Amino acid sequence: QVQLVESGGGSVQAGGSLRLSCAASGYTSNKCMGWFRQAPGKEREGVASIYTRGVMPYYADSVKGRFTISKDNAKNTVYLEMNSLKPEDTAMYYCAADSPRLVCLSRVGADYEYNYWGQGTQVTVSS
């Protein structure tokens, strides 16, 4: 079993930055980790995913060049560094774990492809 706890959300102005953290209990070193987000009235969308250090992460087109996902296996923690935030980035952000390896090595993946989820952390970007 893997339990995930997100932190680091908050309210910022457009152009600002936030760093989200996802602390995992249980072994996640060889598991795909992802970040998803869901805005009110919209479907949950994949933002970024990472398999392990040294393997290319994947990003949604909407966040490429602005968001960076990283993974610290020693701390069992995944991070999402978000820069140049826009109002359209406002959403609940969720950490997810354990999509199939082949998914993680080719794309962010769909939410149903991940087995474990955190409770989410809110990000609000004002204009």
Joined together, the tokens standing for residue 110 give 């769909």
Give the DSSP H/E element, type plus range, for residue 97: strand 91-97
Which of the four pLDDT bands, split at 50, 70 and 90, describes residue 53? low
117 - beta bridge partners? 96
Q: Which pLDDT tens digit goes with each residue over 21-40?
A: 999 997 777 789 999 999 99
User: For residue 28, what pLDDT is reported?
Assistant: 73
70 to 39, 41, 43, 51, 82: CA distances (angstroms): 23, 29, 24, 9, 11
Euclidean distance between CA atoms 68 and 83, whole angstroms: 9
What residue type is 59 in one-letter code?
A: Y
Q: Which pLDDT tens digit goes with each residue over 71-106?
A: 888 888 999 999 999 999 999 999 999 888 888 888
As a whole number of Å, the end-to-end CA separation of the chain is: 40
